[in-house]
Structure 1
Amino acid sequence: MASDSRAFRDWIAICDNGNACFAYGPGREGYGWVRVAIDPGPEARPEVAAGYWPDGAEATRSFALTIDGTDYPMTLAANEPVAAEVPAERALEVVRALAGGSTARIGADHEISLSGAAAALLWIDERQGRVNTVTALRRAGSRPASAVRAAPPLPVVSPAPAVSQAGFGEQNQVLPAALVAVPAVAECRAETTEHWVGKELMSARLDASTALWAVPCFAGAYNVGHDWYVTGPGGGDPRPARLTSSSGEAGAGTINGGYSPETRTITAFAKGRGVGDCGTASTWTWTGREFVLTQESDMQECWGIPPDYWPTTWRTR
C-alpha cells in the first residue's frame, strides 16, 4: 500500500504504507496545532495531541483543549515547544468533538481552526474501513470493531550483521583516490574545500569487501548535505548509494545525515526551517546488498510541531 495525503480546507490528513493515519489542524495565525493519530485495524484507538510555541513562563502551565466550551485537560509531554496529550480513555470523545465542533482552542489564547476537520477524519475512516463502526472517528455506527479492515502487512527488512569498524570512521578521513576521481565528487569538493564542511567526511566498513563513504557537498544555515558512495576495498569501484524515498524517488544525497554501525543505518533529517518543526526524517538500513528505506516521517507544514509528532509516510518491520 502506498502512503497518501490530502488537504481539507485548513486540515491535512496523511496515511502511511501500513495505513497508520494522522490528521492535523493548525492554530489561527500560525500559533498552535492539534493532531489525531490512529493505527489501522480493529483494536486501534485514536490518540490526540496538541501544542504551541511557548512565551516565557507560559511553557510551564498546564492547559486544556477546549472544544465548543468543553475543557479536555491534557497531560504535558514536552515543554519546548509545548506538546500535550489527551488521556487515552477520552481520546475518541475528543476526536468526535473536533469533527462536529465549531470552535476550539488550546490554553487560553491559541485558537485552532476546525475548518476541514470533519472531512479529514472521515477520509481516515474511509481509508481504514471504519465508517459506520463503533471505532469511527467521524461517521460512527453500530457495526462492531471486528468489521474494521485488518492492518496490511509491513515490508520486512533484515539488517546485515554488524562488523568491526577498525580503520574507519574518525580515524580514516582521507578520501581514496578512486573516489576523488569521480566527477560528482570533484564537483562537491570544489564547493566545500575552503569551507568548514569540507572536513565533514564520513566512512564506515559495511563488510569485509565493502565500504561506505559520505562526501560533504554543501552547508547552509541549518542543513548540511552529503553524497554517499558504496565502494570496494580501498575505495575502488565507487558507486552512488541508492537511497529511495517513500515516493519511489532515489538519490545518493542526504541532509544532516549520518551512519550508525551498530544499527547498520543511514539517517537524515532535512529541516524545512531552522527550528526543525517541518521537513523530512529518513532511515535506510544496510541489508548486506543495498540500503533499504525502513522509516520516513514527513511534515511539510511549518506549524510548530515537534518531530516526535510528525506523520510517518513509510514503515517496515
Structure 2
Amino acid sequence: MASEAKAFRDWIAICDNGNACFAYGPGREGFGWVRVAIGPGPDGRPEVAAGYWPEGAEATRAFALTIDGTDYPMTLAANEPVAAEVPAGRALEVVRALAGGNTARIGPDHEISLSGAAAALLWIDERQGRVDTVTALRRAGARPASAVRPAPAFPVVTPAPAISQAGFGEQNQTLPAALEAVPAVVECRAETAEHWVGKEVMSAKLDASTELWAVPCFAGAYNMGHDWYITGPGGRDPRPARLLSSSGEAGAGTINGGYSPESRTVTAFAKGRGVGDCGTASTWTWTGRAFVLTQETAMDECWGVPADYWPSTWRTR
C-alpha cells in the first residue's frame, strides 16, 4: 500500500504504507496545532495531541483542549513541553467533537481551525475501512470493530551483519583519491574548500570489500548536506548510494545525515526551518546489497509540531 496525503481546507491528512493515519489542524495565525492519530485494523484506537509554543512558566503548565465550550484536560508530554495529550479513554469522544465542532482552542487563547476537520477524519475512516463501525472517527455506526479492514503487511528488511569499523568513522577521515576524482565530488570540494564543513568527511565499512563514504557538499544555518558513495576497498570504483524516499524518488544525498554501524543505518533529518517543526526524517538500512528505506516521517507544514508528533510516511519490519 502506498502512503498518501490530502488537504481538506485548513486540515491535512496522511496515511502511511501500513495504513496508520494522521490528521492535523492548525492554529489561527500560526499559533498552535492539534493532531489525531489512529493505527490500522480492528484494534486501531485514536490518539489526540495538541500544542503551542508557550512562554516562560507556561511550558510546564497543563492545559485543556476546548471544543464548543467543553474543556478536555490534557497531560503534558514527558519529553515535549510544547505538546500535551488527551487521556486515551476520552480520545474518541474528543475526535468526534472535533469532527462536528464549530470552535476549538488550546490553552487560554490559541484558537484552532476546524475548517476541514470533518472531511479529513472521514477520509481516514474511508481509507481504513471504518465507516459505519463503532470505531469510526467521523461516520460511526453499529458495525463491530471486527468489520474494520485488517492492517496490511509491512515490507521486511533484514540488516546486514555488523562488522568492525577500525579505521573508519566521522572524524579525521581523508577522502580517497578515487573519490576525489569524481566530477560531482570535485564540485562539492570546491564549494566547501574554504568552509569548516569541508572537513566533515564520514566513512564506514559495510563488509570486507565494501566501504561507505560521505562527502560534505554544503552547510547552512541549520542544515548540512552530504553526498554518499559506496566503494570498493580504499575508495576504489565509487558509485553514488541510492537512497529512495517514500515517493520513490532516488538520490545520493542527505541533510544532517550520519551512519550508525550498530544498526547499519544511514539517517537524515532535513529541517524545514531552524526550530525543527517541519521537514523530513529518514532511515535507510544496509542489507548487504543496497540501502533500503526502513522509516520515514515528514511534516510539510511549519505549524510548530515537534518531530515526535510528525506523521509516519513509511515503515518496515
For normalisation by structure 1, the TM-score amounts to 0.99
Contact 1:270/1:281 (8 A) holds in 2: yes
State how 1:65-80 maps to structure 2 within 5 Å.
65-78=65-78
Within the alignment, does 1:148 sit opposite 2:148 as a pair? yes
- CA displacement 1:138-192 (0-9 Å, x = unmatched): 0000000000000000100000011000011146511111101100000000000
- Cα deviation for residue 83 of structure 1 reads 0.3
- CA displacement 1:254-295 (0-9 Å, x = unmatched): 000000000000000000000000000000000000000000
> Which residue pairs with 1:94 in the alignment?
94
Distance 1:285 1:56 in 2: 41
Contact 2:171/2:201 (8 A) holds in 1: no
Distance 2:261 2:172 in 1: 15
State how 1:102-251 maps to structure 2 within 5 Å.
102-170=102-170, 173-251=173-251
Distance 1:207 1:172 in 2: 21
- CA displacement 1:18-70 (0-9 Å, x = unmatched): 10000000001000000000000001100000000011221121111011111
> Which residue pairs with 1:300 in the alignment?
300
| Letter aligned with residue 125 of structure 2 | D
Per the alignment, in what secondary structure is the counterpart of residue 169 of structure 1? coil
Q: Percent identity?
A: 88
Unpaired stretches in structure 1, ≥5 consecutive residues:
none
Distance 1:80 1:262 in 2: 27
| Letter aligned with residue 56 of structure 2 | G
Root-mean-square deviation (CA), in Å?
Answer: 0.9
Contact 2:33/2:112 (8 A) holds in 1: yes
| Letter aligned with residue 198 of structure 1 | G
State how 1:231-310 maps to structure 2 within 5 Å.
231-310=231-310
> Which residue pairs with 1:47 in the alignment?
47
Distance 1:154 1:80 in 2: 29
Unpaired stretches in structure 2, ≥5 consecutive residues:
none
Per the alignment, in what secondary structure is the counterpart of residue 77 of structure 2? strand
Alpha-carbon spacing, 1:300–1:171, altered in 2? closer, same or farther (3 Å) = closer
Per the alignment, in what secondary structure is the counterpart of residue 124 of structure 1? helix
| Letter aligned with residue 178 of structure 2 | A
Distance 1:3 1:44 in 2: 18
- Cα deviation for residue 79 of structure 1 reads 6.8
Within the alignment, does 1:85 sit opposite 2:85 as a pair? yes
After TM superposition, which residue ranges in structure 1, 4 or more long, deviate above 6 angstroms?
A: none
| Letter aligned with residue 32 of structure 1 | G
| Letter aligned with residue 308 of structure 2 | D
User: Which has the larger displacement, 80-89 or 183-192?
Assistant: 80-89
| Letter aligned with residue 129 of structure 2 | G
Contact 2:37/2:48 (8 A) holds in 1: yes
| Letter aligned with residue 229 of structure 1 | Y
| Letter aligned with residue 62 of structure 1 | A
Alpha-carbon spacing, 1:204–1:98, altered in 2? closer, same or farther (3 Å) = same
Contact 2:171/2:200 (8 A) holds in 1: no
Contact 1:42/1:148 (8 A) holds in 2: yes
- Cα deviation for residue 109 of structure 1 reads 1.0
For normalisation by structure 2, the TM-score amounts to 0.99
